[in-house]
């Protein structure tokens, strides 16, 4: 072997996706500057990290949605890290090369689900108050589901969450603004935000910490649900292998964490438990741009999505505007517009023989594009959602659908078998 031979890429944090999350180290489920490093690496050195699925193994590969009903969201998300990037200082930019994102070799499956409206809900929880689930087999680059027949698509696998730990000041800002929002919307179901809670707070390798610090982290640590200016739960479906991401650094060593791996996700992640959620292994490499936040005029991440993503030629595309399902006019509300586009798409897929739950789940995890078409034409924003035609085993273009309707052969039933529940949270 010559000196040039590359050594094996080290696995900095190893996990067992079948074991309870709380019995494993290298994990945490809150954002806090005092969570100690779980691993350390120098810039330029590729490394691997294991990741649990976002719930830490609460959801199982079976045909019942009961586990979805009962999911404990206060545990979510189990993140791997924090990892120290040697030499990183506040103001630097941590450049992260996403070199690979794969499921564990012996866990080649994932799931997506609809949460019960009383336990998490989703974007269309008024339409879909009850839990449901679909299991996906991960077959090389493709996913198929026994619960949603007739589709097969290439995953654009990515981590839903990446980011560096916030500084004390930034964390304070997060907690303050979100607490205020919660106060303003008290009693909303599902809640408008998730405040810090000591329930199920898990702050990793605590052996080096005093109980007082552990308690502080649990009490102050920001929940991992939302994306924030450090990145976090951005759920950008194209951050697949080959992507490069530029993250702001707020604390010494950067304290980078990662998790919420998705085999595939649609833009928007509609159902909340929306991507094909999986446990898996990521391969990463850090480099640093010293004083990079200033050099790049940046206060939030910059992304260079991968050139290796599938691109589909044809998409059946639906439109939504800022008028909700009850006919109420909103002012330039892109959220309402997105929801209405999604509803139109679900209605269309339903007319092809899918149950509405199947359509909602599919829209959430298949490589759907959601675009803000226009957001200046008062009072309506215009959002489009495009479904690639090639992922179906038959022609879903409107011309073909109209012909099939005419011929009476449209209502092939895709709905006979999918995982639901009669439980209620």
Interface with its own copies in residues 130-159 (CB under 8 A): 135, 137, 139-142, 146, 154
Using CB under 8 A as the binding rule, whether residue 75 contacts its own copies is answered as no
Using the minimum distance from each CB to its own copies, give the nearer residue, 207 or 399: 399
In whole angstroms, give the CA distance from residue 397 to residue 312. 14
User: Within 10 A of 132 (CB to CB), how many other CB atoms are there?
Assistant: 26
From candidates 24, 29, 333, 355, binder to its own copies by CB under 8 A: 333
Using CB under 8 A as the binding rule, whether residue 397 contacts its own copies is answered as yes
Using CB under 8 A as the binding rule, whether residue 126 contacts its own copies is answered as no
Q: What sign results for the dihedral spanned by CA atoms 25, 45, 260, 355?
A: negative
Using the minimum distance from each CB to its own copies, give the nearer residue, 210 or 297: 297
Cβ-based neighbours of 367, under 8 Å, separated by 6 or more: 153, 154, 156, 237, 264, 265, 266, 310, 312, 388, 391
Q: How far is CA 71 from the centre of its chain?
A: 16
Cβ-based neighbours of 316, under 8 Å, separated by 6 or more: 348, 386, 387, 389, 396, 397, 398
Backbone angles phi, psi at 161, to 5 degrees: -125, 130
From candidates 271, 355, 420, 421, binder to its own copies by CB under 8 A: 271
Q: Choose the binding region for its own copies from 25-33, 79-87, 210-218, 293-301 (rule: CB under 8 A).
A: 293-301
Using CB under 8 A as the binding rule, whether residue 191 contacts its own copies is answered as yes
Using the minimum distance from each CB to its own copies, give the nearer residue, 252 or 369: 369
Min dist. Cβ of residue 280 to its own copies (A): 14
From candidates 54, 256, 263, 272, binder to its own copies by CB under 8 A: 272
Please give the DSSP secondary-structure letter assigned to residue 313: S
Q: Do 256 and 231 touch, CB atoms closer than 8 A?
A: no
Using CB under 8 A as the binding rule, whether residue 196 contacts its own copies is answered as no
Using CB under 8 A as the binding rule, whether residue 18 contacts its own copies is answered as yes
Q: Choose the binding region for its own copies from 51-59, 196-204, 207-215, 306-314 (rule: CB under 8 A).
A: 306-314
In whole angstroms, give the CA distance from residue 176 to residue 271. 27
From candidates 264, 380, 420, 421, binder to its own copies by CB under 8 A: 380
From candidates 122, 196, 248, 253, binder to its own copies by CB under 8 A: 122
């Amino acid at each position: 072997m010559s000196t040039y031979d590359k050594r094996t890429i080290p696995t900095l944090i190893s996990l067992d996706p079948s074991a309870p999350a709380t019995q494993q180290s290298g994990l945490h489920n809150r954002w806090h500057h005092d969570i100690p490093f779980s691993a350390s690496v120098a810039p330029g050195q590729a490394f691997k990290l294991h990741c649990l699925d976002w719930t830490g193994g609460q959801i199982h590969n079976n045909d019942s949605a009961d586990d979805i009903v009962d999911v404990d969201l206060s545990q979510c998300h189990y993140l791997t890290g924090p990892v120290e990037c040697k030499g990183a200082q506040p103001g630097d930019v941590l450049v992260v090369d996403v070199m690979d994102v794969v499921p564990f070799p012996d866990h080649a499956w994932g799931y997506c689900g609809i949460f019960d409206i009383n336990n998490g809900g989703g974007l269309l929880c008024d339409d879909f108050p009850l839990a449901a689930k679909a299991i996906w087999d991960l077959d090389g680059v493709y996913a198929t589901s026994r619960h949603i027949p007739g589709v097969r698509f290439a995953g654009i696998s990515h981590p839903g969450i990446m980011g560096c730990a916030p500084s004390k000041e930034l964390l304070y800002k997060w907690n303050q603004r979100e607490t205020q929002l919660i106060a303003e919307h008290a009693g909303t179901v599902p809640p408008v935000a998730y405040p810090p809670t000591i329930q199920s707070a898990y702050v990793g390798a605590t052996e080096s910490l005093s109980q007082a610090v552990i308690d502080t982290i649990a009490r102050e640590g920001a929940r991992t649900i939302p994306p924030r200016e450090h990145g976090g739960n951005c759920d950008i479906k194209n951050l697949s292998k080959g992507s490069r991401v530029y993250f702001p650094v707020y604390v010494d060593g950067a304290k980078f964490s990662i998790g919420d791996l998705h085999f595939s996700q649609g833009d928007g992640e509609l159902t909340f438990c929306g991507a094909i959620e999986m446990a898996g292994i990521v391969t990463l490499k850090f480099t640093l741009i010293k004083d990079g936040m200033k050099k790049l005029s940046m206060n939030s991440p910059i992304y260079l999505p991968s050139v290796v993503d599938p691109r589909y030629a044809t998409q059946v595309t639906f439109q939504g505007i800022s008028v909700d399902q009850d006919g109420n006019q909103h002012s330039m509300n892109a959220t309402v517009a997105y929801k209405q586009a999604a509803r139109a798409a679900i209605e269309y897929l339903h007319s092809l023989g899918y149950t509405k739950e199947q359509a909602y789940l599919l829209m959430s995890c298949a490589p759907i594009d959601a675009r803000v078409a226009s957001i200046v034409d008062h009072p309506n924003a215009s959002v489009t959602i495009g479904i690639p035609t090639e992922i179906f085993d038959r022609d879903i273009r409107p011309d073909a659908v109209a012909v099939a309707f005419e011929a009476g052969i449209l209502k092939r039933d895709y709905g006979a078998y999918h995982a639901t529940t009669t439980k209620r949270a």
